[in-house]
Structure 1
């Protein structure tokens, strides 16, 4: 019995030692793959925190098993194509409080279907490609950006799963219609279909152009007629001013002789 207890005690110690060794290897592996300036930890999956790391671009050596990725409060200005394509387990992506201005068309390719939360608030985004958020299932935060409200933005928000909630927080910094500047996007979209404005604007411009040409033609015709009338009047006055032809004395004598 004593031997059995001793064996169990040693077995338990070995199991604990082995478990500690495995955890140490995992931690070392995660630490060795962690991008420079970031902190990596395991809490419901690999958590990569690169907040306030003075990053100017998104790291390209992110661990493939990353589940939570925090890139907020940096100096990132763009999101390149397929930058997250290998992060198939990514659930949370925080890119808030950067200087992001450009989001490429395929920026979220590879994570659009799995991403649950996307934070792009407090950046400098004015517009994005109409396909940038295609198939995105995440709850997106895109408030506090200088959005330009136009047809493209309308298409983008319609393509997002939570577009109504997302659109509620979008304020038009500028717009294709000046009266929409400073107003919530939903108000602008309710007032007019922003995707039909270019055609209407083109038709209006065409009418204005045609009216302008018509006015020019009429003005020219009126000017031409008046100018001709003035020339005719002057010519008539000139003819009237010419001295009338008088008969010569010899011609008068000849006529008298004949009579």
Structure 2
């Protein structure tokens, strides 16, 4: 009986140690999203979520992910701090989605180490320049329905754009119809400056507002002066009773 008890205790201890070792071996911080596939490439983790009908960026991406492919999905928006916990990311592929809106803080937390960001083939018309100018990554922005304006011009001048795709950044809409359908780089090379156009528009608006204010002041002054003149004329038309001379009044009384 004692031997059997000792054998049972030893067996239980061995099972407990094995279970504890199994817990230690589980990569708790590196679980893979159910809709994705995680692989190792040269010791770096790649999270592959291409063509998975995703409508938003998964929130359970492993913290040690280095390569993230989210292309060919139905993602419509990149919210602020979407990749904040993914400080090891070097490449993000968001091409061929339906992205229309990108928050100014969308790439906060990955700006330092990110080397490549692909946003081509989406529905992006405009983008906050602070979302991209803080990045050192090579950017792909081609094949989007861009509205050519000052913010996009500043991104083109200051961000690191992929030279192979920069000529595919085309003006879908623009302040003038003659720029529509043309590559933004070609329009800028022709001497167009969207930032100066916006400044001129602002100056014109300020001048119009100032002119309107002065016109209101002038109209008020004219009406005030005219009103005072009319009051003066009314008072001038009323007959005033002249006081009788004292000597004549006494003479008339004596005669009666």
Same fold (TM > 0.5)? yes
Instruction: Note the 1:146-161 alignment, pairs <5 A.
Output: 146-161=145-160
> 1:202: how far off?
4.8
For 1:149-228, what aligned pairs fall within 5 Å after superposition?
Answer: 149-162=148-161, 167-190=166-189, 191-202=191-202
Tell me by how many angstroms 1:30 deviates.
7.6
**Gapped runs of 5+ residues in structure 2?**
1-20, 216-256
Q: Indicate if the aligned counterparts of 2:92 and 2:118 stay in contact, CA closer than 8 A.
A: yes
Q: Quick check: 1:30–1:40 contact (8 Å CA) kept in 2?
A: no
Does the aligned pair in 2 maintain the 1:112–1:134 contact within 8 Å? Answer: no
- The whole-number CA distance in structure 1 between the counterparts of 2:197 and 2:164 is 24
Q: How much has 1:86 moved relative to structure 2?
A: 1.2
1:144-191 CA distance string (max 9 Å, x none): 100000001112222313376654321111112221110010122233
Q: Residue 39 of structure 2 corresponds to which residue in structure 1?
A: 41
Structure 1: runs of 5 or more not aligned: 1-20, 215-259
1:64 equivalent in structure 2: 63
| CA-based RMSD | 3.2
Counterpart in the other structure of 1:219: none
Q: Deviations over 1:230-259 (max 9, x none)?
A: xxxxxxxxxxxxxxxxxxxxxxxxxxxxxx
Q: Does the Cα contact within 8 Å between 2:139 and 2:160 map onto a contact in 1?
A: no
User: In the TM superposition, what whole-angstrom CA distance separates every residue of 1:117-149 from its partner, at most 9, and x where no partner exists?
Assistant: 111111000000121102211111110100000
Provide the rounded CA distance (Å) in 1 between the counterparts of 2:31 and 2:76.
24
What SS does the corresponding residue of 1:188 show, helix, strand or coil? helix
